């Protein structure tokens, strides 16, 4: 029994290298025998001249410091240069965050926007949402944010809610990183009962 096993091992040592050499030879010679059949079909990608000239980045992130040395971040699902070597960037699904000196934060999201890196400003369009971690949330359709100055404003109708109640207005202005908020035009404020008691 042991002799049969030893002979089988010796046979495999001879046969396996031979089979491997034959396979390698077939792989090397096959392109000459059947030209064109082993090549992967390559389709030319359709890329516009604008896409070549203007850089685009997926999951983009821009970081900076405002006038009070508070860090801010602007992110987007897609960021595209408005023009070659431009400081103006088109944003898809942008989000801007700023951390205040007292530890609180502000966040703004939108469908689209334009980030001007040299001016540290963001123009937001679409479903614009503004959040403050104190529990305030506002919705509008356009907003202009000055990250460097910690200011924002908009001239479209705005709806908001927070611990105080709800508010509707024709526009808004934010100063001092959210410490002062002015609602412009015709404004309607509805206070919650607990908010009324807190102000008494």
Distance (Å, whole) CA 165 – CA 195: 7
- Strand-pair partners of 113: 91, 124
Q: Which two tokens stand for residue 6?
A: 């030893």
Number of residues that this document lists for the chain: 200
Q: What is the mean pLDDT of residues 4-16?
A: 54
Q: State yes or no: pLDDT of 48 exceeds 50.
A: no
Given pLDDT bands bounded at 50, 70 and 90, which one contains residue 14? low
Distance (Å, whole) CA 117 – CA 185: 31
> Which among 166, 178, 196 has a CA at the least distance from the CA of 187?
166
Which pLDDT tens digit goes with each residue over 128-145? 998 888 888 999 999 998
Q: State yes or no: pLDDT of 24 exceeds 90.
A: no
More confident residue, 72 or 12: 72
Output the CA–CA distances (angstroms, integers) from residue 17 to 12, 14, 24, 152, in the order listed.
8, 6, 11, 74
**CA dihedral sign of residues 15, 17, 21, 26:** positive
Q: Which long-range contacts (CB under 8 A, 24 or more apart) does 62-68 make?
A: 62/89, 62/115, 62/117, 64/120, 64/147, 64/148, 66/98, 66/120, 66/147, 66/148, 66/149, 66/150, 66/177, 67/148, 67/149, 67/150, 68/101, 68/150, 68/177
User: 3-class SS at 58?
Assistant: strand
Residue 7: predicted pLDDT = 58
In this prediction the pTM is: 0.64
Q: What is the mean pLDDT of residues 3-24?
A: 55
Q: What is the mean pLDDT of residues 43-61?
A: 59
Q: What is the mean pLDDT of residues 74-91?
A: 85
Distance (Å, whole) CA 140 – CA 162: 15
């Amino acid at each position: 029994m042991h002799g049969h096993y030893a002979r089988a091992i010796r046979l495999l040592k001879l046969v396996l290298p031979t089979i491997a050499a034959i396979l390698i030879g077939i792989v090397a010679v096959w392109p000459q025998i059947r030209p064109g059949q082993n090549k992967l079909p390559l389709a030319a990608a359709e890329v516009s001249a604008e896409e070549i000239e203007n850089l685009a980045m997926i999951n983009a992130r821009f970081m900076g410091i405002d006038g009070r040395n508070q860090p801010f971040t602007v992110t987007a699902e897609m960021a595209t240069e408005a023009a070659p070597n431009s400081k103006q960037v088109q944003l898809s699904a942008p989000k801007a965050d700023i951390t205040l000196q007292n530890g609180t934060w502000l966040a703004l999201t939108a469908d689209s926007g334009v980030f001007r890196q040299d001016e540290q400003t963001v123009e937001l369009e679409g479903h614009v949402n503004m959040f403050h971690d104190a529990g305030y949330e506002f919705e509008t359709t356009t907003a202009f944010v000055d990250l460097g100055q910690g200011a924002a404003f908009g001239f479209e109708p705005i709806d908001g809610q927070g611990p105080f109640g709800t508010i509707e207005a024709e526009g808004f202005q934010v100063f001092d990183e959210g410490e002062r908020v002015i609602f412009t035009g015709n404004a309607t404020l509805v206070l919650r009962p607990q908010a009324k008691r807190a102000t008494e």
